[in-house]
């Protein structure tokens, strides 16, 4: 039913029915019939938040859910938009909903004889675990605490619940730091000589509660409110306010969640897991969120409330132990988990409380999971018939594929580390897989600061809290001494694909002194801030020092290969790879590449045995000397191309002719000047004629090189003599490269393999440049084919990487058979900025301030560069309708840019071999949109 149907109390009613529906009971979901009429489950989630929508849905499914209601996200947004004032009618509806809860539970809010207690929890459309605020046990005060003691005969339970309210209210609503509360508890435990909260008795919890009240008074100069309605009002405000808290904002920035959604507030009757040995609380996943196996995974505690589990304050018990502790409850819980997973068609993350032998479900949501788990769960569910293949493809993000292919530690490296000084110091909960190497830091601010400075950090904490999220996002890895597989640290780490080891209780962490100590049999190990650590989130191992990592074994990733096979059936966009060497091409093909979209020939020139020959070619003062050097390079280039053609047999290989300016192959100007100065100084100390002659010869050689460097220097070399311009001015370089390509292709063809070479001209801006070089290519081709007595098909094309080429693409297409968009240079020339300078000086700040929506070198600038690409496609195909087009810049591996390429009708994207699996999935997802 909707709250509009609930009679509001006379004392608070203001024009009944005149206000919008701001509040819905959990059983109102089927009747959202007033001014708000969601037409889809997505709209229900947007209105009620994920938590509220799922609580309503569980209620509808007859799952045991404590009664409650949801204050909508629209109420939150109205509150935030109007100077943090409740919208008209909202509070009255909240009061009316509380009266309905009283009717349903038979308890009265604020009544000492039979008190009703509620929790106040956030819940946005998209899950943001721990990022916003919660207040439990609202309704307890000095009077209701005494009444509850009289009802239950359990003062320890009552004061444990009361101190939680005072502590959470103080921290969440009044802004008192959490540490002083924890310090009071620690002092009382030390006085008693105990280590666990569960060991404290009623009298001690009562004293702690009073000290907590005094703490609030000293920090805020106000009393803890005894009025339950004031508690509820202030808690509701605090949850609304937490939408723009720092940790929530940081989390949304990191996960691309919009800032305008707002959070709902869920008010729910409290059930208590801390009422003795017949009570408990826990968090569980219907499948393993670490590796995706189809087994129940989670933690629980006897005689505790839910925050104890997720906060990592106490080390928990595995959920499987519940079978022994409470077998009937366990069987009921398993049945509910199966029901929820089947209903939502996804792995569920559930929270539950057992109150004196009665099971209650407090929450369900789609569970956060590691990359490996996401892929396995999606594939398994498709095979089980819960979802179809296309849904499975939508369930996995390209970023998760990338995470799965992150480096790992090899067993041999770890074995060596155990025997060396970088030995294994701990083995704990493998909370989030992956290998991480970094310097130890002990607070979130330092982690964020060091990461911005380019340092790799491992954040070490006793346990993490939501306020640590900015440091957790920045860290390469997370290590805690407390908490389990469902603790805050574990859940957030899995969300971001960050390796994490939790519950390493052998670590004695001192946050103030920024160190931890490990007591071992024969020594004490200290790790200070800045010391290097290596953690393996897949095994839970922690090592001292820096361990080397290795590439993952793609062939062993069975579920990923299955998923990508489904992606290949769905996508229309080809996925090629950038490969400069045969080993790159072999890897690309293993990863599923359908061709080489960019082979950069200049990279081959930088190899040690070739660079002197390249420099000799550049230094040549006559064409004859230059040709002699090129003749020496020819067999080397031919061998390179043969290796790539063999690796990509049957698939196209696009080879870009020499692109960079020649001075890049020579020593730097300032370096040469310094070397000459040093040599001339040393020359004064030589005494023998032999030493002097040798030194003078070296001086003359370096002076010749310096003279050539100065002759080749340009004010703006990236817009100077390079690419097709170099090929026209020094045609013998182009002739050598074309000959090497064609001779290699013929040799590979004669070995029985299929070859498809394509020659690409870089940096062309005018069709006449293409005409000149095309004639050169044809001349060399005729010579090679005559000499070989055979021919092969060769395609001739160009890169589009300057705006003029894009604007005249119809003309360019009269000579070029294909276009490949060099989006790195096209972005530079469109924006008029140098990437190397811009990224270090202002681009990051531009993105942070919203001046640019994204770094245009990471994601294609749709409104500028994108329009040029779209225009080129249209104009090029107006001349040559079947023209093949793709991109070969770094954007070829960016999922958002891949989506754009699909939209504008490109044939393929070409990216790093390591990003080929990512591109295959992104292309399939683009096809499904």
Residue 487's nearest CA partner among 504, 475, 471, 473 is 504
Using CA atoms, how far apart are residues 121 and 285, in angstroms rounded to an integer?
Answer: 20
Tokens of 712: 């080749």
Residue pair 84/76 in contact by the 8 Å Cβ criterion: no
Give the 3-state DSSP-derived string for 204-268, with helices as H, strands as E and coil as C.
Answer: HHHHHHHHHHHHHHHHHCCCCCCCHHHHHHHHHHHHHHHHHCHHHHHHHHHHCCCCCCCEEEEEE
Using CA atoms, how far apart are residues 582 and 646, in angstroms rounded to an integer?
Answer: 8
Half-sphere exposure in the Cβ direction for 169 (13 Å, CA): 33
Using CA atoms, how far apart are residues 734 and 741, in angstroms rounded to an integer?
Answer: 11
Residue 365's nearest CA partner among 24, 124, 582, 630 is 124
Tokens of 533: 């650590």
Tokens of 28: 């109102």
Between β-strands 652-656 and 756-761, what pairing exists: parallel, antiparallel or unpaired?
parallel
Q: Where are the beta strands (DSSP E) in 615-724?
A: 652-656
Phi, psi of 487 (to 5 degrees): -70, 170
- CA 749, distance to chain mean position in Å, is 44
Q: What share of the chain is helix, strand, coil (3-state, %, to 5)?
A: 50, 15, 30
Residue 24's nearest CA partner among 11, 59, 10 is 59
550 forms bridges with which residues in the sheet? 408
Residue pair 610/636 in contact by the 8 Å Cβ criterion: yes
Residue pair 3/19 in contact by the 8 Å Cβ criterion: no
Fill in the DSSP letter of residue 169: I
DSSP 512-581: TTTEEEEE-SS-EEEEETT-EEEEETTTTEEEES----B---GGG-HHHHHHHHHHHHH--SEEEEE-SS
Residue 899's nearest CA partner among 883, 877, 923 is 923
850 class by beta-carbon count within 10 Å (0-12 exposed, 13-18 middle, 19+ buried): exposed
Q: Where are the beta strands (DSSP E) in 35-159?
A: 68-71, 108-109, 115-116, 118-124, 134-138
Q: Under DSSP, is residue 464 helix (H, G, I), strand (E, B) or coil?
A: coil
Is the sign of the CA dihedral 652, 657, 661, 665 positive or negative? positive
Residues with active-site annotation: 488, 888
Phi, psi of 757 (to 5 degrees): -75, 145
Using CA atoms, how far apart are residues 416 and 518, in angstroms rounded to an integer?
Answer: 20
Q: Where are the beta strands (DSSP E) in 442-522?
A: 457-461, 477-480, 500-502, 507-510, 515-519
Q: How many CB atoms lie within 10 A of CB 517?
A: 14
Residue 445 neighbours by CB under 8 Å, 6+ apart? 470, 471
Using CA atoms, how far apart are residues 784 and 781, in angstroms rounded to an integer?
Answer: 5
Residue 850's nearest CA partner among 253, 244, 246, 257 is 253
């Amino acid at each position: 039913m909707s709250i509009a149907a609930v009679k509001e109390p006379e004392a608070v009613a203001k024009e009944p029915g005149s206000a919008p529906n701001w509040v819905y009971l959990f059983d109102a979901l089927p009747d959202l019939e007033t001014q708000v009429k969601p037409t889809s489950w997505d709209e229900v989630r947007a209105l009620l938040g994920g938590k509220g929508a799922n609580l309503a849905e569980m209620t509808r499914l007859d799952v045991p859910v404590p009664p409650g209601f949801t204050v909508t996200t629209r109420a939150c947004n109205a509150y935030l938009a109007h100077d943090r004032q409740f919208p008209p009618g909202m509070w009255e509806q909240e009061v009316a909903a509380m009266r309905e809860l009283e009717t349903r539970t038979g308890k009265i809010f604020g009544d000492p004889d039979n008190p009703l207690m509620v929790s106040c929890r956030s819940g946005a459309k998209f899950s943001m675990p721990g990022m916003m605020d919660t207040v439990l046990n609202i309704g307890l005060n000095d009077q209701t605490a005494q009444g509850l003691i009289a009802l239950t005969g359990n003062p320890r339970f009552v004061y444990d619940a009361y101190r939680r309210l005072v502590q959470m209210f103080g921290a969440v609503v009044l802004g008192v730091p959490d540490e002083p509360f924890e310090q009071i508890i620690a002092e009382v435990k030390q006085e008693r000589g105990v280590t666990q909260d569960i060991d404290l008795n009623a009298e001690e919890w009562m004293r702690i509660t009073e000290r907590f009240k005094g703490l609030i008074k000293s920090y805020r100069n106000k009393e803890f409110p005894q009025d339950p309605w004031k508690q509820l009002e202030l808690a509701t405000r605090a949850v609304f306010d937490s939408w723009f808290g720092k940790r929530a904002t940081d989390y949304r920035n990191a996960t691309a969640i919009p800032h305008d959604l707002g959070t709902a507030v869920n008010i729910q009757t409290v059930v208590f897991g801390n009422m003795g040995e017949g009570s408990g609380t826990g968090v569980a996943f219907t499948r393993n969120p670490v590796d995706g196996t189809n087994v129940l995974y989670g933690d629980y505690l006897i005689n505790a409330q839910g925050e104890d589990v997720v906060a990592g304050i106490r080390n928990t018990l595995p959920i499987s132990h519940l079978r022994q502790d409470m077998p009937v409850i366990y069987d009921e819980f398993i049945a509910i988990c199966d029901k929820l997973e089947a209903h939502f068609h996804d792995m569920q993350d559930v929270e539950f409380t057992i109150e004196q032998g009665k099971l209650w479900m407090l929450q369900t949501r789609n569970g956060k999971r590691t990359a490996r788990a996401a892929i396995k769960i999606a594939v398994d569910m498709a095979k089980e018939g819960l979802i179809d293949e296309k849904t499975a493809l939508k369930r996995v993000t390209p970023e998760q594929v990338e995470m799965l292919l992150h480096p790992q530690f090899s067993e041999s490296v770890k074995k060596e580390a155990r025997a060396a000084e970088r030995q294994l110091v701990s083995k704990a909960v493998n909370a989030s897989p992956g290998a991480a190497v970094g310097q130890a830091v002990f607070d979130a601010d330092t982690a964020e600061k060091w990461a911005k400075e380019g340092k790799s950090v491992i954040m070490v904490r006793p346990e993490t809290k939501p306020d640590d999220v900015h440091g957790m996002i920045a860290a390469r890895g997370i290590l805690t001494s407390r908490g389990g597989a469902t603790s805050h640290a574990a859940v957030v780490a899995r969300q971001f694909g960050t390796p994490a080891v939790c519950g390493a209780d052998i670590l004695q962490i001192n946050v103030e002194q920024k160190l931890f100590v490990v007591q071992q049999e024969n020594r004490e190990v200290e790790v200070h801030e800045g010391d290097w650590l290596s953690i393996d989130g897949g095994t839970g191992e922690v090592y001292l020092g820096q361990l080397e990592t290795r590439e993952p074994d793609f062939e062993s990733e069975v579920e990923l290969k299955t998923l990508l096979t489904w992606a290949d059936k769905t996508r229309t966009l080809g996925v090629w790879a950038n490969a400069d060497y045969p080993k790159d091409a072999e890897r690309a093909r293993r990863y599923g590449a359908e061709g080489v979209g960019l082979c950069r020939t200049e990279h081959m020139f930088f190899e040690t045995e070739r660079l002197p020959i390249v420099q000799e070619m550049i230094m040549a003062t006559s064409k004859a000397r230059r040709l002699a050097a090129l003749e020496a390079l020819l067999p080397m280039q031919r061998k390179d191309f043969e290796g790539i053609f063999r690796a990509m047999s049957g698939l196209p290989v696009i080879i870009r002719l020499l692109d960079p300016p020649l001075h890049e192959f020579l020593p730097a100007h300032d370096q040469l000047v310094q070397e000459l100065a040093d040599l001339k100084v040393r020359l004064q100390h030589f005494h023998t004629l032999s030493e002097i002659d040798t030194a003078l010869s070296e001086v003359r050689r370096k002076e010749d090189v310096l003279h050539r460097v100065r002759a080749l220097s340009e004010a703006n070399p990236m817009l100077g003599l390079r690419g097709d311009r170099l090929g026209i001015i020094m045609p013998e370089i182009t002739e050598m490269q074309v000959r090497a390509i064609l001779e290699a292709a013929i040799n590979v063809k004669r070995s029985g393999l299929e070859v498809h070479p394509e020659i690409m001209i870089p940096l062309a801006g005018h069709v006449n440049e293409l005409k000149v070089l095309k004639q050169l290519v044809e001349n060399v081709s005729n010579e090679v084919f005559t000499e070989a007595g055979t021919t092969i098909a060769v395609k001739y094309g160009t890169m589009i990487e300057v705006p003029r080429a894009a604007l005249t693409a119809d003309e360019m297409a009269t000579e070029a058979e294909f276009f490949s968009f060099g989006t790195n240079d096209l972005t530079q020339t469109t924006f008029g900025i140098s990437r190397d300078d811009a990224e270090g000086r202002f681009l990051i700040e531009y993105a942070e301030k919203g001046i640019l929506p994204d770094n245009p070198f990471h994601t294609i600038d749709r409104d500028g560069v994108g329009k040029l690409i779209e225009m080129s496609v249209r104009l090029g195909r107006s001349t040559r309708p079947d023209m093949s087009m793709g991109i070969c810049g770094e954007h070829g591996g960016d999922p958002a840019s891949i989506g754009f390429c699909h939209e504008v009708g490109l044939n393929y994207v070409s990216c790093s071999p390591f990003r080929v699996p990512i591109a295959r999935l992104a292309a399939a997802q683009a096809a499904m949109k």
